[in-house]
Structures are given as C-alpha cells and as structure tokens.
Amino acid sequence: MIDCDIHNEVSSIEQLMPYLADHWQDYIRESAFVGPHANDYPRGAPTSARPGSLPPQGGQAGGTLRLVREQALDPWDTEVGILNCSYRVQSVKQEDLAADLATAANRWQIEEWLEPEPRLRGSLVAPSQTPARAAEEIRRFGDHPQFVQVVLPVRSYIPYGNRFYDPLYAAAVEKDLVVGINFGGAPGHPPTPVGWPSTYLEEYAGMAQVFQSQVISIIAEGVFDRFPELRIALIEGGFGWMPSLMWRLDKEWKGLRSNTPWVRRPPSDYIRERMRLTVQPVGAPHDPRFILQTIEQMESDSMLMFATDYPHWHYDDDDEAWPFTLPEPLNANIWSETARSFYRL
C-alpha cells in the first residue's frame, strides 16, 4: 500500500528556529511573528484531527513522527507514505522571509522526518508567490532521493495556468518531481467566485470548486503544451467531480478551440495522461457500483491514488478509508501501482 497524503505539520515557529539565520531569529522574537496564517485545518473543527492524533505534549495533529508511525504507517503496513507539509509560506508577504521559511521547513523535513523514517517520501515547501525563488528551492533540494514532489496550496495568488508560474514548473520537470496541488491556502482572495463565505462548511465543501478552476486554468492556458513532461497530483480534493468537468471541457474546447490554439488535443487527454487524484475525502456514494461508474466515466483505470489524508478525520475505522473491492488491475492501481509509476517510486 502506498499512501499519497500524510500530513507532517510544523506545530510552532520554534521548531524551525535552528534552521533559520540569526537575523530571522531576531526578527521573529522582536516582532512576535508566529508563522504563516492559512489555518486550513482549524483546531476545533471535527474534520481537522482524528481521535488520538493530537500530540499529548501539545502542537498540531500530524506534528510528531511517532504518531505518524503508530497511526498511519504501521496499521496499514505501508510501503511508502508521501508527506504533504501544509506550511503555507505563500501567505507570508515578506518575500525573503517566505523563501527562508521554506528552506527551513525543508531542512526540518529532512532531518526530523525523512532521515529517521525510510518509508517516507517528502514534498518540498516552496514560495510559489515568487516562482523564481520557488525554482531555487526546488533546485536546492530536488536531488534528495526522498523528495518526490513540490506541494502547492490549491488556493493561489493567480491561477496556476498563468505563465507567471513557468519557472517553478521548469524546475520541477528538471528535477523530475511531481507538482502536488493540495487543499487550502491563504492568498488573500476569497475561496469562492462570489466572495467570502460565512461558515467553514462553505469553504470546506467548496474547495472542490477551486480544484476545478485550477484544472481548467492549467489545461486552457497550455501548461502541458509548454511542459509536456510535467506531472500534477490533485490532493485532498476528492474525485467525483472530475468526469463532468472532463466532459464540459472537451465540449467547450471543440467549439472554442480557435481561442486556445496551443491546446492541441481534447482537454480530457491531458488530464488522463498528466494528472492524478487522491481518493480522500472520497465524497461519493458508498455503493461500489456507483464508484465504479465514476471511474469508468473518467475512461481510465490509472487516475486514482490511495490516501488516508492522515490526520484528518474522514472515517472512523481503517476499513472505511476505501471500502471498495474493485476489479483488477483497477484495485491494485488505486492501492499502489498508479502512485508507484507516477512518483517513480
């Protein structure tokens, strides 16, 4: 089993102090800066932390390697677990501080997560609001054998299809890393097309719309035509919405293809070849017949990758994480083989 979404979280800015230059340590102490302010997983929200995942000494759920081993790796006999650190440096407006916080978070991941636990693979934190600096970060750590991905929040400063992000994509392709787009982010814009929501339920359920917007942008603005080797994983956004989006994109592309001449093939072709989705939160009926129909509508048996999304609370028992027995090779692909191929494991 390969788990494509395990969160390792920075519980406090103090954890990164040993990895920061002296002047930043002084700045943090003098300014009372506490770190990025994304708050994607509010501590009091039931979905944010499964029972028992909060460290007894305090801190964030997913904040200790011991609990990740005990609750995410060992119970599943996990072969490989891919970490997604939700340290949203993109919300830090001071460009140099954001870049150095990313470097500190990545050094922290190496020393305190990847080196002690060979089953883990890491996702690089990168200041994507300044793509040239993000590219430097990718090239700095991209050759480390346990980093397999660059993680970006799905909520972004501008849509990810824009050429603004090309330096980041170029570096990811150069280092043969997946670009993972993960739930959350705090770019300063509302998370809905019509303004700010008033409840967390609206923001949480509506994040699937943000994923769809990014897919449309990436396809329509020609990212895969500029970077034909780029691979993108959509993490923690569900997958039930993908078939209808593929149909809609293909239909409108046929009528408006003169508007985007650089998109040389039907959008669904690019999605099947270059994008993968994690299964949690499943967000679909529990009847396996309907799950199978959804997968068949994507016309691919190699687009979904298993994930627990640890420590977030989407199910009560491990048997409920993916309670479907599907035909082979689809079943094996979801549990491990699609991820093995996509991440070059």
Measuring CA to CA, which residue among 185, 24, 15 is closest to residue 100?
24
What is the Cα–Cα distance from 247 to 310, expressed in whole angstroms?
A: 32
Superfamily the domain 2-342 falls into: Metal-dependent hydrolases (3.20.20.140)
Omega within 30 of 0 (cis) for the link into 281: yes
Note the pLDDT of residue 261.
93
Q: What is the residue whose two structure tokens read 């994509």? A: 169
Note the pLDDT of residue 50.
84
pTM of the model: 0.95
CA-CA-CA-CA dihedral for 306, 312, 316, 320, to nearest 10: -10
Helix (H) or strand (E) holding 201: helix 200-220
Q: What is the mean pLDDT of each run of 10 residues along the chain (345 residues)?
A: 94 93 93 85 84 80 88 94 94 93 96 96 96 97 97 95 97 98 88 89 91 97 96 95 96 93 95 95 78 91 94 80 84 95 96
Note the pLDDT of residue 68.
93
The Cα-based distances of 222 to 62, 150, 247, 315 in angstroms read 36, 20, 18, 37
Note the pLDDT of residue 284.
72
Compute the C-alpha angle 118/59/310, nearest 5°: 50
